Amino acid sequence: MSRDRARRNRRLSEKLLLAAIGTATGIGFVATFVLGYAVWRLDQVQRFEVHDVLTAPAQEPITASDLIDLSAASSKDADRNFEGKAVEIILPPTIGEPLVRSEPDAENYLLVGSDNAGGISADDAIMTGRGAAAGNHLADTIMILRLRKDGTAAVVSIPRDLLVPIASTDSIAKINSAYNLDSSPQTRAARLIETVEDHFDIGLQHFVEVDLDGFRRLVDAIGGVSICFNRPTRDRTVQDSGDVTEGGTGFTVGKGWTHLNGDTALAFVRSRRLLVQQQDGEWVRLGVWNDLERNSRQQRFIFEALDQALGRATGNPRTLQRLLDIVATDLRTSNTLSVFDDGLELARRFNGLNVDSDLERYALQLVDITVNSQAGLELIDNDHNQRVIDIFRGIGWDDVIEQRVQVVVEGPSASPLSSRLRGARFKATHLTSDAHITNRIRYGVGGDKAAVLLAARLGQVVEMLPDPSLSGNKIRLELSSEPPSVILGYRAVQPPTALATSITQKTPPPPKTLGVCG
């Protein structure tokens, strides 16, 4: 009896083992097939030879916080009182060149949505009023995406109507036209890359483009995207406008969660004059109908789509196959991007990206202008826009760097020293006066880091004193009859005590997507 039971148990265990081996073999075969298919399809992605206009990842400039950390580390070996004996941390070769970290920690991607309508039916609602423009290649959507090694990301949209100098031309035109001047796709990409890099002084490492039909097919390939709407929403129709060329996209949805397929998603992101239904049934304009609102809507949709799509694609071979097929035929990238290796890395990063906490969404502030009878937009010259652009140069919103520190130099030799500080990138002005008793830096609430940064660029130890008449990054340098020199590098310095109340530059809230829940 026991032998029969043992044989039955052995037969059962053998069956389980064989089943496990068979399952593992099957999984291995499927995995190998999927991997091989992915390599084959992704190898077919059209890649543009534009590496000569793209920029190597920039190393980030050192900040006051970095100096404080370095000074703390140096204090273990240097004079604890920092009485003029602190060591030089680094000595860059030219004045004004910032100390840099050992390697870049992020890369910038230029994401472009072309308005080319190849593959779109002529009677599709989004073709209303386009006529001959169907063959255009205007950059309808332009975004810069910064992916950092720590798993976080930042994105900003560039309005298509921004008037800028177009690269390699003598003209000022809307930035979207830079992608429509050349017949060669590769030359189009190169001109747009150069235009963005030149105007914003931002280095770009990669380029990715998709057209209208490709966008629609990608959305369908991932099974659509769910979006929640606060109220019934639709794009303006011919009946609303009274103009057959202003018929809108045909987009219309009810209140609550709506699953958008490729057609409705394309209509949603391209709608320019959305209307929402009030409680009394009246349809009213949503927002002010400008590029900024549409940019926000496009950002919101793209990252909602990524958030929803990655889980489906990685868990469903059929979905992954459909996605790979569309990517292979409808996506175009720069030759700096290894579509397979970098694509897998991007998928891994985005799969772990929390859209709410890890993704920073920024909006530029603009003003309407007219140049040579051409209406468009211009960046407002303000601190907000400068900080947004700095994000994509690797400079944090709150980072204290030379360009953000305003120094008033006072003393008998204030003019030449303020000039040297401007050469070191400080915003320096001067007031000629009698000599002070000693060289010292005065700072106010929130100015301790600015004081550290300035002290680190001076060749002699300078006393740092709090001053209630100052605040933020506005500081004062008082000179004695023997003023300090401005050095090429940075000295380790003893940070002053921060005042009880501090000032921080609050990161702006993400651009609000009107009409969408949350």
- Round to whole Å and give the CA distance between 23 and 429: 74
- Round to whole Å and give the CA distance between 160 and 63: 33
Contact 431, 467 (CB under 8 A): no
Summarised one tens digit per residue, pLDDT across range 74-109 is: 444 443 333 333 333 443 333 334 444 556 789 999
- Round to whole Å and give the CA distance between 171 and 296: 28
pLDDT of residue 374: 93
- 333 three-class SS: strand
- 227 three-class SS: strand
- 319 three-class SS: helix
What are residue 47's phi and psi, to 5 degrees? Answer: -120, 130
pLDDT of residue 452: 93
Structure tokens at 92: 């860059």
pLDDT of residue 95: 35
pLDDT of residue 85: 34
Angle 464-67-505 from CA coordinates, rounded to 5°? 80
- 347 three-class SS: helix
pLDDT of residue 84: 37
Give the torsion through C-alpha atoms of 61, 67, 69, 73, to 10 deg.
120
Contact 292, 366 (CB under 8 A): yes
pLDDT of residue 17: 46
Q: Which residue has the tokens 């840099």?
A: 100
Mean pLDDT comparison of 190-194, 312-316, 346-350, highest-scoring range? 190-194
H or E element, residue 306: helix 291-315
Confidence band (pLDDT; 50, 70, 90) for 60? confident
Average pLDDT, rounded, for the chain = 81
Q: Of 284, 297, 193, which is closest to residue 233 (Cα–Cα)?
A: 284
pLDDT of residue 83: 37
User: What pTM, to 2 d.p., does this model score?
Assistant: 0.82
Query: Is 391 a residue whose pLDDT tops 60?
Result: yes
DSSP 57: P
Q: Quick one: average pLDDT of 45-74?
A: 80
Contact 179, 145 (CB under 8 A): no
pLDDT of residue 27: 36
Distance of CA 211 to the CA centre of its chain: 21
Residues of the chain above pLDDT 90, percent = 49
